[in-house]
Amino acid sequence: MHIHILGICGTFMGGIAALAKRAGHHVTGCDANVYPPMSAQLEAQGIALIEGFGAEQLSLKPDVFVVGNVVTRGNPLMEEILNRNLPYVSGPQWLAQTILHDRWVLGVAGTHGKTTTSAMLAWILEYAGLNPGFLIGGVPQNFGVSARLTDSPFFIIEADEYDTAFFDKRSKFVHYHPRTVILNNLEFDHADIFADLAAIETQFHHLVRTVPGNGLIVSNGREAALDRVLQRGCWTPVERFGAEDGWNIDAGNRVSLRGEDQGALHWELSGEHNRQNALAALAAARHAGVPAAQGLAALTGFKNVKRRMEVRGVVNGITVYDDFAHHPTAIATTVGGLRHKVGEARILAVLEPRSNTMKLGVMKDALPGSLKDADLVFCYAGNLGWDARGALAPLGSHATVEDGLDALIASIAAAARPGDHILVMSNGGFGGIHGKLLDRLFKGK
């Protein structure tokens, strides 16, 4: 089958392209921004890429067009597909029907931690010899790729609540029909498509409705929103983590299940959020047949995901990190985790409010509190529709807001001194700030 993917350079659609190629399909694709690293990864797999969404691409005559949710009405290629009544399908639906339909799907859902927990789960199953396939919204360093197709019946997928396509406003995860599902946490996010938290809870309820009776729901026992979701109807056994009647981890990193000791967690990661992510992954892996002791042994060698507190370089005693955090809760967790790691050393937090929710300013009032563990805060206000200076005013002189990237880099470099930790947080490329900042620090202020 020849599939042509619209919006191929996004992490999710690029992953679908890689899976489709591995499954033996002829794959081509297009996007508005065809550039490395995704373009290089796809081209290395023999996938031809086209810049833009020109209607002339119909001449490729694929069997089906696979449409990413970056595509909207008015897109010239999509308009011509509709006018000519050509076959098209969303990425999640194509994935479900073509790749996932006969597999044991392990889905990882939640506002935060999906990528890290999916990577943990994939590594545990890999360590146990189960050779899982996966599609993850990041690059697990244990694997070096974000998507993999194998002959194994097990497939781990990051189960996103964002909508499917312009013609299918259901959350992506309702297509996946997981047998094992992790509900990691649930907060308000994606203000561009959800009116409130209750609207997201409804989508999670729809996900719960798809899990079979012989499956397992692994749910965060500390989340009232998830309790409300399950109270709306649940037909599947539930194991909770972070709750007395389920999976727990103590101050000494001893893991227990319903009060019975399962062993100790020894690893390089820090932060309570990662300890809870580990419990969720252990529970899901156990449902797939991996004993907790074996799962704990696997996590000893877990290397996390790129862009999750990833050290990008050290110059003159100054360490620069890259992290994907963009929601206030994730920002607070990330900064707090680094504070625990570095003790009294100074933390310079650098923030790009880039997600759709942050661009709308819905959570701007939560930003000062989320950055309380940082010594200095630097915010990039380019293209924001709200007053970042006003939002960060409670931080006083500890906060600097710049409208230009060069000015931001100059301000950070002027403030940095040996022993500092510069934590850069964005869900995008942030204009290549990491390399530019390291270069500036190397050359001197």
For residue 127, is it within any domain? yes
Listing DSSP states for 200-217 in one string gives HHHHHHHHHHTS-TTSEE
Co-location of 152 and 295 in the same domain: yes
Co-location of 179 and 57 in the same domain: no
Co-location of 274 and 158 in the same domain: yes
Give the sign of the dihedral formed by CA 286, CA 292, CA 298, CA 299. Answer: positive
For residue 225, is it within any domain? yes
Which of residues 249, 279, 299 is at a domain's end? 299
Rounded average pLDDT over 302-319: 84
Residue-wise pLDDT for 13-64, tens only, equals 999 999 999 999 999 999 997 766 677 778 888 898 999 999 999 999 999 9
For residue 96, is it within any domain? no
| Overall number of domains in the chain | 3
For residue 305, is it within any domain? no
Residue-wise pLDDT for 243-266, tens only, equals 888 999 998 999 999 999 999 999
pLDDT score recorded for residue 36: 64
- Per-residue pLDDT for 445 more than 60? no
Co-location of 281 and 333 in the same domain: no
| Percent of the chain whose pLDDT exceeds 70 | 98
Rounded average pLDDT over 232-248: 94
Query: Would you call 46 exposed, middle or buried from its count of C-beta atoms within 10 A (0-12, 13-18, 19+)?
Result: exposed
The amino acid at residue 439 is: D
Co-location of 249 and 109 in the same domain: yes
pLDDT score recorded for residue 68: 95
For residue 51, is it within any domain? yes
Co-location of 53 and 113 in the same domain: no
CATH number at residue 417: 3.90.190.20
pLDDT score recorded for residue 363: 77
d(CA 281, CA 277): 6
DSSP-derived pairing of the beta strands 318-323 and 310-315: antiparallel
Residue-wise pLDDT for 330-355, tens only, equals 888 889 888 988 899 999 999 988 77
| Percent of the chain whose pLDDT exceeds 90 | 66
Rounded average pLDDT over 226-247: 95
Which of residues 42, 71, 91 is at a domain's end? 91
pLDDT score recorded for residue 107: 98
Co-location of 47 and 113 in the same domain: no
Q: Of 37-41, 150-154, 360-364, which one has max mean pLDDT?
A: 150-154
Which of residues 91, 122, 151 is at a domain's end? 91
pLDDT score recorded for residue 37: 66
For residue 159, is it within any domain? yes
- Per-residue pLDDT for 288 more than 60? yes
Co-location of 115 and 234 in the same domain: yes
Co-location of 168 and 245 in the same domain: yes
Question: Other C-beta atoms within 10 Å of 194: how many?
Answer: 20
DSSP state of 10: S
Query: pLDDT class for 421, splitting at 50, 70, 90?
Result: very high
Higher pLDDT, 333 or 184: 184
Co-location of 36 and 131 in the same domain: no
Co-location of 219 and 276 in the same domain: yes
| Structural domain for 154, as ranges | 102-299
Where do runs of H (alpha helix) occur along 45-87? 76-83
Average pLDDT of the chain is 91
CATH number at residue 22: 3.40.50.720
Rounded average pLDDT over 70-83: 97
Query: pLDDT class for 388, splitting at 50, 70, 90?
Result: confident
CATH number at residue 180: 3.40.1190.10
Where do runs of H (alpha helix) occur along 51-169? 76-83, 91-95, 114-127
Co-location of 218 and 350 in the same domain: no
Listing DSSP states for 118-139 in one string gives HHHHHHHHHHTT---EEE-SS-
Query: pLDDT class for 194, splitting at 50, 70, 90?
Result: confident
For residue 403, is it within any domain? yes
- Per-residue pLDDT for 138 more than 90? no
Rounded average pLDDT over 358-374: 83
For residue 97, is it within any domain? no
- Per-residue pLDDT for 176 more than 90? yes
Question: Other C-beta atoms within 10 Å of 52: how many?
Answer: 13
